[in-house]
Amino acid sequence: MEIEFSGAAREVTGSCHIVRANGHTVLLDCGLFQGRRAESRAKNVKLPLPVAEIDAVVLSHAHIDHAGRLPLLAKEGYQGTIWATAATRDLCAIMLADSANIQEKDAEFLARRARTRGRDRPDASADPEAEPLYGMRDATRTLELMVGMPYNKEFEVLPGIRAHFTDAGHILGSASVVLDVTERGETRRLVFSGDVGRSGLAIIRDPVPPAGAHAVIMESTYGDRDHIPVDGARAQLAQVVRDTAKRGGRIIIPAFAVGRVQELVYDLHSLAREGAIPAIPIYIDSPLATDATTVFEMHPEVFDQSEAMVQRVPEIFRFDLVRFTRSVEESKSLNTMHGPMVIIAASGMAESGRILHHLANGAPDQRNTVLIVGFQAEHTLGRRIVERRESIKVFGDMVPLRAQVEVLNGYSAHADRAGLAAWLDAVRRTSPALGRVWLVHGEPAAQDALATSLRSKGYHVAVPTPGERGSV
């Protein structure tokens, strides 16, 4: 069995790993690269290998940096199966459609810009980025190829290659992939962690480390730091809401529409029931987050049934203070309202979507707070906010950043270095033949720190670069 590391190698986005065995080729994830537009575009338009060579795809979860290039496979003629959990398939139905819509809208904008430049400069050529990466038809075709499987149920990916999913505890439906490959009468087990979640997160069950691995591909997003406890993050959220409301400001939260929004709504609901935050309106200004919340409500079977609110409250995402805004008119009206409020909008790294309008209007006001509750990749607007730049570029204009900036890493859905080490230790306890551990999905500093720590504990760790290969 040979593995080639195509994406999320020495970086966070673009997750894609190529497994070749028994004359077959399987992709583990096929995600979008994110960051600088031109660089990401150049990476995204180039598939990891010709579609004719891909026999199957196994998907860890629905986040766009893991699933976002699947419609490009469909566009290029891929006809094989895409295996995922049932909840992941349902989330992909809305997330890939949203991604396709963004691709088409961005292409329309770039085409208009090219036409304008052409009128100003007759020799100007069309913008090479004006072609959408894929469209809605391709997203729909992708869903037709997806097969949803329950956790812990073995299935045949291809002859000689079997798999099952364990709960990764990251978002709804997220999975670690266990791949069993039989060649020449010998079976070897490869474990792909996907994105490992944290124990104690709201709604989602704790991660379940797989057993019996011969090799592991493991994420390393937070391999160089520890998070504050989950309960501490909830207390900090309450404090930010109280302090900002006292100033008469609004709390503006860029949040991933799938997972983070639902977790925040859950915690705000819990805090409101406890009387720990003032009774101010909470707006979820994201059609995608609204649809994702509906998908969450469709899958209570994967909720953490040990949580009191899950047990006792019939509608954990619906309460008096929360309002889901869908139309553009409703979204725009928020900027004309007065008084304290919470606004949660996508995208999570503030690169696109309605959050940009709220930042353009709210960042200059020192009464407001921009609250960062997730990982912000390099070269994103979210990262520049975390760095507390004096001004930020929104819609091409420089906007002063006078609002307070608060960062709650305790809301990360990724395990920190201690959590990653504990997950891997649990795998090793059941894996006497464990060999190589490859670290992916992390920036170099995080990967190098985690690699050093794991090597000191006796692990055989490699940190692959794009295109590097290994064997199991």
pLDDT of residue 128: 55
The predicted structure's pLDDT at residue 123: 46
Q: Which residues contact 44 (CB under 8 A, 6 or more apart)?
A: 14, 32, 33, 69, 72, 133
Residue indicated by tokens 């940096």: 65
More confident residue, 229 or 2: 2
Residue 134 φ then ψ, to 5° = -165, 170
Cis amide leading into 347 (omega within 30): yes
Q: Is pLDDT above 80 for 110? A: no
The Cα–Cα gap between 177 and 29 comes to 10
Residue percentage of the chain with pLDDT more than 90: 84
Q: What percent of the chain has pLDDT over 70?
A: 96
What integer best gives the mean pLDDT of the chain? 94
Higher pLDDT, 158 or 376: 158
Residue ranges matching CATH 3.60.15.10 in the chain: 2-225+413-471
Tell which residue, 78, 136, 143, has the closest CA to residue 107.
136
Judge whether residue 48 has pLDDT over 50: yes
Sign of CA dihedral 354, 357, 358, 359: positive
pLDDT at 127: 54
If one compares 29 and 112, the residue with the highest pLDDT of the two is 29
Distances (CA, A) of 140 to 72, 93, 133, 143, 213: 11, 8, 14, 5, 35
- Amino acid sitting at position 416: D
d(CA 460, CA 65): 27
Compute CA distances 292 → 32, 139, 343, 375, whole Å: 19, 16, 17, 20
Alpha helices in 321-416 (DSSP H): 328-334, 355-362, 381-386
Give residue 118's pLDDT: 66
Say how many C-beta atoms besides its own lie within 10 A of residue 5's C-beta.
23
Flag the least confident range among 113-117, 266-270, 308-312, 453-457.
Answer: 113-117
Contact assessment for residue 18 and residue 27, using Cβ atoms and an 8 Å cutoff: yes
Summarize pLDDT for 60-108 with one digit per residue, the tens. 999 999 999 999 999 999 999 999 999 999 999 999 999 999 888 877 8
Tell me where in the chain the CATH 3.40.50.10890 domain(s) lie: 230-411
N-to-C CA span, the chain: 5
Q: How confident is the model at residue 304 (pLDDT cuts 50, 70, 90)?
A: very high
How far is residue 306's CA from residue 43's CA, in Å, rounded to a whole number? 43
What stretches of 212-258 show up as alpha helix (H) in DSSP?
230-247
pTM for this prediction: 0.89
Would you state the structure tokens that stand for residue 218, as one six-digit string?
A: 């493991």
- One-letter amino acid at 279 equals A
d(CA 212, CA 434): 8
For residue 121, the model assigns a pLDDT of 52
Q: What angle do CA 279, 282, 286 make, to 5 degrees?
A: 175
* Cα–Cα distance, 216 to 8 (Å, whole number): 15
Is it the case that residue 416 has pLDDT exceeding 90?
yes
DSSP 413: S
The answer on pLDDT for 371 being more than 70 is: yes
At 119 the pLDDT is 59
For range 386-404, the mean pLDDT: 95
Distance, CA of 402 to CA of 204 (rounded, Å)? 35
The CB density around residue 403, as the number of other CB atoms within 10 Å, is 23
pLDDT at 219 over 90: yes
* Long-range contacts formed by 38-43: CB under 8 A, 24+ apart: 38/129, 40/13, 41/129, 41/133, 43/7, 43/14
The token duo for 461 is 């760790």
**pLDDT one-digit tens code per residue, 126-166:** 455 568 999 999 999 999 999 999 999 999 999 999 999 99
Positive or negative torsion for Cα 8, 405, 316, 208: positive
pLDDT bracket for residue 124 (50, 70, 90): very low
**Pairing mode, if any, of strands 469-471 and 2-7?**
antiparallel
The residue type found at 336 is T
Classified by CATH at the fold level, domain 230-411 comes out as: Rossmann fold (3.40.50)
Q: Name the fold adopted by 2-225+413-471.
A: Metallo-beta-lactamase; Chain A (3.60.15)
| Beta partners for residue 372, in sequence order | 407
pLDDT of residue 35: 76
